[in-house]
C-alpha cells in the first residue's frame, strides 16, 4: 500500500482474478486525478477527484469515497489548505475505521498529523500521534513507535515545549538501549541535552 492510496481500486477484482471489463468513468476520473496530483497540477487534480468523489457517493461505494477523500486531502495538504485537508482525511479515516482497515487507518492518521501541524493544532497532533503509537504497539512495531515519537519531539519543538521534546528524545533513547542500539541511544540523549542547553 503506497503512501497515497488507502487501497488500490485495481486490487478489487472478482475471486477468479478476472476484471469486470473496461474501467468505469468514475474510476477513470479518480485515476486521472491521482495522475494530475502526481504531476503537481493541483487545481485540475482537485476537480477530477471531486468529480470521482461525487460519483462514488452516488454509487454508495465507501472504498471509493475513502480513496477519493484521501487523495483530495493530499491535494489540499500540498496546497497548504490544512483545514480542508483535515476534513477530507477525517472522512477517509471514519470509513477506514468502520471497515477495520488497520493499515489504511495508520496511513490516514499520519496525514491527519501533518494537517494538524499545519494548523498549529499541536495538542491534537500529539494526541493523534499517541493513537498511532497504540496501533504500532498492537502490531508489535517498535520502529513505527520510534518514528512517531520522533515526530512528537518535532511537534513539541514547533510548539516551543523543549523540555517535553527532550523527554521524548530520552524515551526514544531508552527504547534503543533496550534493543542494544547504544550508539543510536547516545545520539538521542545528545539531542535531549542540546535542547535543554539551548533554553
* Cβ burial, residue 170 (10 Å; 0-12/13-18/19+): middle
pLDDT tens sequence for the chain (199 residues): 445 556 554 444 444 444 454 689 999 999 999 999 999 999 999 999 999 999 999 999 999 999 999 999 999 999 999 999 999 999 999 999 999 999 999 999 999 999 999 999 999 999 999 999 999 999 999 999 999 999 999 999 999 999 999 999 999 999 999 999 999 999 999 999 999 998 7
At residue 96, what are phi and psi to the nearest 5 degrees?
-65, -40
Alpha-carbon distance 192 to 179, whole Å? 19
Judge if pTM exceeds 0.75.
Answer: yes
Alpha-carbon distance 39 to 35, whole Å? 6
| CA neighbor of 67 nearest in space, from 45, 52, 84 | 52
How far from the centroid of its chain's Cα atoms is residue 75's Cα? Answer: 13
Per-residue pLDDT at 198: 86
| Cβ neighbours around 81 below 10 Å, total | 18
Alpha-carbon distance 109 to 65, whole Å? 17
Per-residue pLDDT at 177: 95
Say whether domain 120-199 belongs to CATH 3.30.70. Answer: no
Pinpoint the residues of the chain covered by CATH 1.25.40.
1-101, 120-199
Say whether domain 1-101 belongs to CATH 3.40.50. Answer: no
Spatial contact of 93 and 109, defined as CB atoms under 8 Å apart: yes
Amino acid at each position: 500500500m503506497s503512501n497515497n492510496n488507502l487501497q488500490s481500486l485495481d486490487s478489487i477484482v472478482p475471486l477468479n482474478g478476472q476484471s469486470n471489463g473496461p474501467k468505469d468513468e468514475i474510476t477513470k476520473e479518480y485515476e486521472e486525478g491521482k495522475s494530475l496530483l502526481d504531476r503537481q497540477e493541483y487545481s485540475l487534480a482537485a476537480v477530477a477527484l471531486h468529480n470521482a468523489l461525487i460519483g462514488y457517493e452516488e454509487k454508495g461505494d465507501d472504498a471509493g469515497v475513502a480513496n477519493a477523500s484521501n487523495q483530495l486531502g493530499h491535494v489540499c495538504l500540498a496546497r497548504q489548505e490544512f483545514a480542508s485537508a483535515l476534513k477530507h482525511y477525517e472522512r477517509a479515516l471514519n470509513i477506514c475505521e468502520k471497515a477495520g482497515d488497520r493499515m489504511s487507518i495508520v496511513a490516514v492518521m499520519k496525514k491527519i498529523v501533518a494537517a494538524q501541524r499545519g494548523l498549529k493544532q499541536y495538542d491534537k497532533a500529539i494526541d493523534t500521534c499517541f493513537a498511532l503509537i497504540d496501533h504500532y504497539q498492537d502490531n508489535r512495531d517498535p520502529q513505527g513507535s520510534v518514528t512517531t515519537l520522533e515526530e512528537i519531539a518535532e511537534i513539541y519543538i514547533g510548539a516551543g515545549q523543549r523540555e517535553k521534546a527532550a523527554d521524548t528524545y530520552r524515551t526514544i533513547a531508552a527504547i534503543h538501549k533496550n534493543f542494544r542500539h547504544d550508539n543510536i541511544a547516545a545520539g538521542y540523549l545528545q539531542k535531549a541535552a542540546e535542547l535543554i542547553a539551548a533554553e
